[in-house]
Structure 1
């Protein structure tokens, strides 16, 4: 088969959610199936490190597609030309967008429908694009893959789709996320927190991640316990961050909040494994990989009790009401004071992470690709 894949999110030194997903899944599939040709479609110059096998052929398709008009041109005008040129048997798009103008069968990955639930956290132009096209994308695709049963049910509720069209393939934590030695932990604390214990949030900074309430909760934690605990926020400023940066500038405990910016994965893994606990108060997630990465590092995770997160974590997470800074603070204090609870969550987490495996996910994706290519 000739298999084309949208790999626009493979950005050197900027890998995040979609990019990590593509790397984990499609590097494995290409290596496992050398008898097939894989075409990676980029929208800008690419790093050769993303060409994971000799049967991967990179192609740059212009323009750079980072806003609605460019998305329309890239997917509907330019992409069909290249799909026809390489005689593609199937096209896979991991970012929720597909081509409405090609006749090539498509396998579409939709991680969540956050734009329906929290439209205020997305730009108006992007929101209009999602509102106009998501249903069309779902109808156009031969097979739709999503990352949790929550997201599957969400799509079935909001769009009239055949239930067997949507396949669930869960995410996983990268193998680099592992427990660290005490010496490694102390070294990373010296580097980031002057040796103090710390809570950690990892991920980009934007309103849906609910970091305003995290700051408020951390303030309550500090006032009530008077500990030297720090809060590390490991991620880049994404969009609509004005309220967050304004609050942080006047935050009483701002010297106890460390913003690392974007980190390479190996550094992020060591930092995560050195934390006392992860706090992940996001309002809405189709899966949420960072808390699972924490579990794999033997670090407990305090996680919102919303969307797909209880499905993923079950009894391995300590749950919070993301709307309540008071509740977030109480759970941070609880895990700080109750070592038995912390140990139990770590033990539960070590079992929970065994359910999610990138090798299994890649094999299931391969089956979906074959299904999309042969579905009439």
Structure 2
């Protein structure tokens, strides 16, 4: 079998969530199935470490697709002759984008979520126009759809009016790099980022739907009510819409204790996660919420939202809060800080819960979806 794969997000030292999904899933798939050939379609020069075996054929197809107009060109014109040249039996797209011009070649997108349908304000104008127009088409064109939670499956089926029977739920994995760290590492991290103090941690982009403003307000309320010096460490890339976050932070009496670390490389994030008092992940909408599982693997207790996919992923291994309520988030911070027995219970339950989320399981689920697409 020949499997053509969209690998344009495999960019060394520049990978975000879907890039890491692509990396781990394809690494396992290519190792699990040496009998099949994988055509990796890159949109620029690639790092050799992405060529996971002799069954991988890398192909660079220009132009680089990093703008909606170039998405259209790359997927609908640039890659088409290469997919056909190598006689691909199936086209697999880990970032959800498809070509409308592959004829009878079955396509399988991974549509992680459709947050752009619900929070269009988080996206630049042309990007949200493209996503909202074409992902509906992709959902109908796809032979099968892979998504990462039951929540996302139901959302895609309802929003795009496609049968839930063609949507396969395959949970994300989380890297085994996330694990408990020793007291020496914790001391090193706290000295580097928080003047030696313990800290609550947020990991993610600084977008409105990530609810960072309410998280900061909850932290401020917690500090006012508690005799505590715990700081708030925020790790993530600044986006186009961070002015409200910065305004709230600048007016806080605890602004010196709210630290923005920016985006961190994976090896540093592993240490920062493992050294946290707790992960605070109170987003308004997630298709999965990978930091939840990464924290659990690091034996760090989690506070997360009771909406969208987050209660599904966290189950009973996290404190669930109303993300629209500053008091609800603040109260959870207080409980994590004051109740050592609760912290240990959450750590133990999180450890057990996180064992279900492995990249091997993800790859097996994706392969089952590919087989279904080819057999139907």
Q: CA deviation at 1:226?
A: 4.0
Conserved 8 A contact 1:205-1:235: yes
Q: Distance in 2 between matches of 1:49 and 1:271?
A: 26
Q: Distance in 1 between matches of 2:217 and 2:363?
A: 40
TM-score with structure 2 setting the length:
0.96
Aligned to 1:43: 43
Q: Distance in 2 between matches of 1:61 and 1:246?
A: 43
Aligned to 2:84: 84
Conserved 8 A contact 2:202-2:233: yes
Q: CA deviation at 1:371?
A: 2.4
1:66-114 deviation line (CA, Å, top 9, x unaligned): 2211111111111212111221111111112111111221111111121
Q: Distance in 2 between matches of 1:163 and 1:236?
A: 34
Conserved 8 A contact 2:173-2:360: no
- Mapping for residues 27-38 of structure 1, pairs under 5 Å: 27-38=27-38
Aligned to 1:6: 6
Q: Distance in 2 between matches of 1:252 and 1:5?
A: 50
User: 3-state DSSP class of the match of 1:316?
Assistant: coil
- Mapping for residues 238-257 of structure 1, pairs under 5 Å: 238-257=239-258
Aligned to 1:228: 229
Q: CA deviation at 1:246?
A: 3.4
TM-score with structure 1 setting the length:
0.96
Conserved 8 A contact 2:288-2:313: yes
Aligned to 2:204: 203
Q: Distance in 2 between matches of 1:51 and 1:244?
A: 40
- Mapping for residues 62-77 of structure 1, pairs under 5 Å: 62-77=62-77
Conserved 8 A contact 2:218-2:330: yes
Conserved 8 A contact 1:300-1:317: yes
User: 3-state DSSP class of the match of 2:127?
Assistant: helix
Q: CA deviation at 1:280?
A: 0.4
1:161-213 deviation line (CA, Å, top 9, x unaligned): 23321101001221011111122211211121121000001122222211111
Aligned to 2:367: 366
Conserved 8 A contact 1:180-1:297: yes
Conserved 8 A contact 2:170-2:365: yes
Aligned to 1:187: 188
Q: Distance in 2 between matches of 1:275 and 1:86?
A: 48
1:301-354 deviation line (CA, Å, top 9, x unaligned): 000111011011111010111112222112111211111211111111111112
1:208-261 deviation line (CA, Å, top 9, x unaligned): 211111111111122222421111111221332222233334433222122222
Q: Distance in 2 between matches of 1:208 and 1:141?
A: 28
1:93-147 deviation line (CA, Å, top 9, x unaligned): 1112111111221111111121222222222222221222222101111110000
Q: Distance in 2 between matches of 1:242 and 1:66?
A: 25
Relative distance call for 1:86 and 1:124 in structure 2 (3 A) is same
Conserved 8 A contact 1:106-1:373: no
Q: Distance in 1 between matches of 2:242 and 2:54?
A: 41
Q: Distance in 2 between matches of 1:121 and 1:270?
A: 29
Q: Distance in 2 between matches of 1:347 and 1:79?
A: 47
Conserved 8 A contact 1:150-1:307: yes
User: 3-state DSSP class of the match of 1:260?
Assistant: strand
Unaligned stretches of 5+ in structure 1?
none
User: 3-state DSSP class of the match of 1:355?
Assistant: coil
Q: Distance in 2 between matches of 1:214 and 1:349?
A: 22
Conserved 8 A contact 1:80-1:102: yes
Q: CA RMSD in A?
A: 1.5
User: 3-state DSSP class of the match of 2:329?
Assistant: helix
